[in-house]
Chains A and B, each alone.
Chain A
Amino acid sequence: MRRTMAKASLYTALNLLFFALIGTALLAITYQLTHGPIARSEEKEKLKLVTQIVPAGSFDNDIIKDTAQLPADELLGNDDTTIVYRGRLKGQPSIAVLQVIAPDGYSGKIGLIIAIHSDGRIGGVRVISDKETPGLGDYIEIAKSKWITGFDGKSLDNPQDSDWKVRKDGGSFDYMAGATISPRAVVKAVHKALQYFALHRDELFKQSPLTKNGTGQSEGEKK
């Protein structure tokens, strides 16, 4: 009796092991076949976002590969290192893409990427992750509304410091009635990013590029 039970358990265990091995092998093969295309499509997606906010012609280097690591900073709103993409024109620093976080959205953090020309003008801003209310606060996303393009061409002195607010608070940025918190958070974060850029511009372009590409995405990008 005892022997047959042991035998049955052994058979069950071996059976599980057998299927686990087959499963693992299948997964390994699939991974081998797809990890190339996956890396390529992620790269393409990133490039698509970056090229949306970096005007064509403002750089001639491989901007996606020219990266440096930035330590966490209060002005960037993050508590982890982030990657900055650096565009150069004829070897001269021309534009940088920062990843920042607006911590005070209506439903938590809003992840942004911001392109800033070397003279401090904004090339463009995009939301890369947010949990704002669908149909209400989500007009900060480019897919829903053009609101975010209102930052294009703005800089620290255009509008002046005290006007970096939504209109409701006496500033110069539009908002939609009923959803002020999301745009307020974005305006604040963009303003801070400009201040960060003004303080750190030179060192930001000087750092040597990372050898490993694409590591350490900002927290906002992880889902």
Chain B
Amino acid sequence: MTIQEFKDILFNGVWKQNTGLVQLLGMCPILAVSSSVVNGVSLGLATAVVMALSGAAIAPIRNLVPNEARIPVFILIIAVLVTVVQFSMNAYMYGLYVVLGIFIPLIVTNCIVLARIEAFASKNPPLQSALDGFAMGLGLTAVLAVLGGIREILGHGTLLSGIDLVFGDAAKSMVITVVPNYHGFLLAILPPGAFITLGMLIAGKNWLNLRAEQKLHGSNATIVPVNGGCAPATH
């Protein structure tokens, strides 16, 4: 893998094809878990690990699996890896495991995992596939972190609450109270708040893209519409 290839895959995953802002895949965890930074980042990283592992596991066997059996085999492998991650979190990060609850096993059904396997890992060598999965996961984590941060500040007036669930009780002092004696803003915590904030983030990214376009091509550049939906896309 050349350095350029490495950079391309990373940039593609984290920014250009960002799962949360561009591909709009995996909305279910994005909306449900992004109520705080710690929750969002934790699920994002768990997804990134699963995506990297599944990329690395599926790419080497991509030529062994007959075409008609590939979806069940891929899902089987993803499910196994998710369960491994789930067991490990249950054993070593119990507090977080309880908080994330049902969303860990649901990583299996997160279409972004299968989408990247179909679009990338089934056509590329293991190293690149693992990197692609991880970069995509990192992009998702970044969106979840920003989304969680905004919702947490607006909703609770804090940042990093619940960090003790990851690093033990000693980390309780790392919680930042942004607005003291804040009374809370319910809309930000409930799912509609997630939709609205995500909409703003997507608008923000499109604006940045448009500005970059305009710098390159002059003022008559237009934005390319974003594709949504939950079908494995071909790129």
Contacts and interface: CB of A to CB of B under 8 A. Distances in A.
A23 B90 contact: no
Nearest to A134: B189
Interface string A6-50: 001001100110011001001100110010111001101100000
B233 interface: no
Residue of B90, B91, B95, B101 most packed against chain A (CB within 10 A): B91
Contact of A27 (B83, B88, B98, B185): B83
B100 to A, nearest CB: 11
Given A30-B83, A37-B92, A41-B94, A12 B66 contact: yes
Contacts of B190: 134
Interface in A109-135: 133-135
Contacts of A90: none
Contact of A23 (B69, B77, B91, B186): B77
Contacts of B68: 12
A36 B88 CA distance: 11
A223 B104 CA distance: 13
Given A26-B80, A135-B156, A38 B66 contact: no
Contacts of A26: 80, 84
B180 to A, nearest CB: 15
A20 B80 CA distance: 9
Interface residues of B, number: 31
Contacts of B141: none
Contacts of B203: none
B213 to A, nearest CB: 40
B91 A34 contact: yes
Contacts of B66: 8, 11-12, 15
A16 B66 CA distance: 9
A27 B84 contact: yes
A44 B156 CA distance: 29
A31 B72 CA distance: 23
B80 A136 contact: no
B35 interface: yes
B90 A41 contact: yes
A36 B76 CA distance: 25
B73 interface: yes
Interface in A31-83: 31, 34, 36-38, 41-42, 44-45
Contacts of A45: 94-95, 98
A23 B102 contact: no
Nearest to B74: A19
B231 interface: no
Given A8-B66, A19-B77, A38 B101 contact: no
Given A16-B73, A44-B94, A30 B186 contact: no
Contacts of A8: 66
Contacts of B155: 134-135
B65 interface: yes
A124 to B, nearest CB: 18
A175 to B, nearest CB: 16
Contact of B76 (A20, A38, A133): A20
Given A16-B72, A16-B73, A27 B92 contact: no
Nearest to B65: A15
B184 interface: yes
B87 interface: yes
A37 B83 CA distance: 16
A15 B90 contact: no
29 contacts: A8-B66, A12-B68, A15-B65, A15-B66, A15-B69, A15-B73, A16-B69, A16-B72, A16-B76, A23-B79, A27-B83, A30-B88, A31-B87, A34-B87, A34-B90, A34-B91, A38-B87, A38-B91, A38-B94, A41-B92, A41-B94, A45-B95, A45-B98, A134-B155, A134-B186, A135-B155, A135-B184, A135-B186, A223-B102
Given A15-B66, A23-B76, A42-B94, 6 more contacts: A19-B65, A23-B79, A31-B87, A34-B88, A41-B90, A135-B185
